[in-house]
Amino acid sequence: MESQATVSSHLHHTFRRLGEELAGEIVGQAMLIERLMIALLADGHLLVEGAPGLAKTSAVRALAARLDADFARVQFTPDLLPADLTGTEVWRPQQGQFEFQSGPIFHSILLADEINRAPAKVQSALLEAMGERQVTVGRQTYPLPALFMVMATQNPIEQEGTFPLPEAQLDRFLMHVRIGYPQVEAETEILRLARERAREAMQPQPRTTVRISQGDVFAARRAVLDLHMAPTLERYLIELVLASRDPARYDAGLARRIAWGASPRGSIALERCARARAWLAGRDFVTPEDVRAVAVDVLRHRVLPSFEATAEGWDGERLVNELVRLVPLP
């Protein structure tokens, strides 16, 4: 039987190699790659927002291709129906009964492209799947796979024909990540990579991709949960979330700018993500920097600005950055 140290070394090596492979394929989006891996290890769903052409969809596809799990992509549109996502019951005259035909939501990795283009009925079906890991069709409830992740993308530019995600659904996302344009060096590398792929398309070569087993993913998740977090750091993490609910203790001006603070789900997400980041860095303990590094992406969609703050140009990201600045380190 393998020792715990050997298993731990194998898992770290596996996920380090995964990160390197993704970085080689998705150039200039190091933060997005790290957030994808954190979401995988923290057993959560990810919402990625960015302009068209920034490899949001490609990054999710690249991760799914390296996991030993089913993958489905759904392009969300205004005419999408809940049955297109969950599946439907089909009448079988030979058997004289209805038979359930499962939809793409029953895949382990679901890419929800342009999620904000789907109407409210579809969003509510997705809400049950994300929150309860089950789908109800008619009178029957069907469980989802043990490994189940929704990775959603949305475009912040076009707002016509979109349906803003309700707060209840936003809260189901572990992190809300915003990505920007790559730097000059990264753009140069992207051009080189694009030329290589164009050549490969003309002369296709068989490529072998090593897939990470679901067993390794679950083992890594257990290792993340076993990481040491000092009580003082846990208190700091909770204090950050409590400050979003009662900011008057730190700043009166901030109190009138925050309409709603983060829920306990925000505390859980912040702890899980900080642990996952520490594990990916090869440490067996969590530091304050781990908490601060993920705080904005975990809380930006959970801390809601007041009308007054919105008029002044404040959004969730700016509010969380101010909370991180005001709450003292342990």
pLDDT at 289 over 70: yes
Residues 50 and 179 in one domain: yes
- Measured distance CA(45)–CA(131) in Å, rounded: 10
Task: Identify the CA nearest to 110 among candidates 137, 79, 84, 141.
Answer: 84
Residues 193 and 294 in one domain: no
pLDDT reported for residue 15: 92
Burial of 206 (C-beta count, 10 Å sphere; 0-12/13-18/19+) = exposed
Length of the chain: 330
Which amino acid would we find at residue 1?
M
pLDDT digits (tens, 9 = 90+) for 106-158: 999 999 998 888 888 888 888 888 888 998 887 888 899 999 999 998 887 76
Task: With respect to residue 274, please indicate whether it lies within any of the assigned structural domains.
Answer: yes
Residues 170 and 280 in one domain: no
pLDDT reported for residue 233: 95
Task: Identify the CA nearest to 221 among candidates 42, 9, 19.
Answer: 42
CATH of the domain at 91: 3.40.50.300
CATH of the domain at 268: 1.10.8.80
- Measured distance CA(133)–CA(137) in Å, rounded: 14
Task: Identify the CA nearest to 189 among candidates 80, 325, 16, 55.
Answer: 55
pLDDT digits (tens, 9 = 90+) for 190-212: 888 888 878 878 877 766 677 89
Q: Give residue 327's pLDDT band: very low, low, confident or very high (50, 70, 90).
A: very high
Residues 109 and 59 in one domain: yes
Residues 129 and 76 in one domain: yes
Residues 186 and 81 in one domain: yes
Q: Rg of the chain over CA atoms, in angstroms?
A: 21
pLDDT reported for residue 322: 93
Q: Give residue 3's pLDDT band: very low, low, confident or very high (50, 70, 90).
A: low
Task: With respect to residue 210, please indicate whether it lies within any of the assigned structural domains.
Answer: no
pLDDT at 1 over 50: no
pLDDT at 293 over 90: yes
What is the rounded average pLDDT of the residues 294-310?
93
Residues 167 and 236 in one domain: no
Residues 294 and 233 in one domain: yes
Which of 27-31, 186-190, 303-307, 314-318 shows the lowest mean pLDDT across its residues? Answer: 186-190
In which domain, by residue range, is 252 found? 227-326
Classify residue 306 by its DSSP letter.
Answer: P
pLDDT digits (tens, 9 = 90+) for 225-243: 999 999 999 999 999 999 9
Task: With respect to residue 86, please indicate whether it lies within any of the assigned structural domains.
Answer: yes
Residues 141 and 252 in one domain: no
Residues 35 and 173 in one domain: yes
Mean pLDDT of the chain: 88
Instruction: Give me the number of domains the chain comprises.
Output: 2
Residues 51 and 179 in one domain: yes
Q: Among 152, 167, 202, where does a domain finish?
A: 202
Task: With respect to residue 208, please indicate whether it lies within any of the assigned structural domains.
Answer: no
Task: With respect to residue 18, please indicate whether it lies within any of the assigned structural domains.
Answer: no
Residues 277 and 154 in one domain: no
What is the rounded average pLDDT of the residues 307-326?
92
Q: Among 169, 202, 235, where does a domain finish?
A: 202
Q: Which of 55-59, 207-211, 312-316 has the highest average model confidence (pLDDT)?
A: 312-316
**Which one is predicted more confidently, 56 or 217?**
217
Task: With respect to residue 129, please indicate whether it lies within any of the assigned structural domains.
Answer: yes
pLDDT reported for residue 157: 73
Task: With respect to residue 20, please indicate whether it lies within any of the assigned structural domains.
Answer: no
Q: Among 168, 202, 236, where does a domain finish?
A: 202
pLDDT digits (tens, 9 = 90+) for 60-97: 888 999 999 899 999 998 888 888 998 888 888 888 88
Task: With respect to residue 193, please indicate whether it lies within any of the assigned structural domains.
Answer: yes
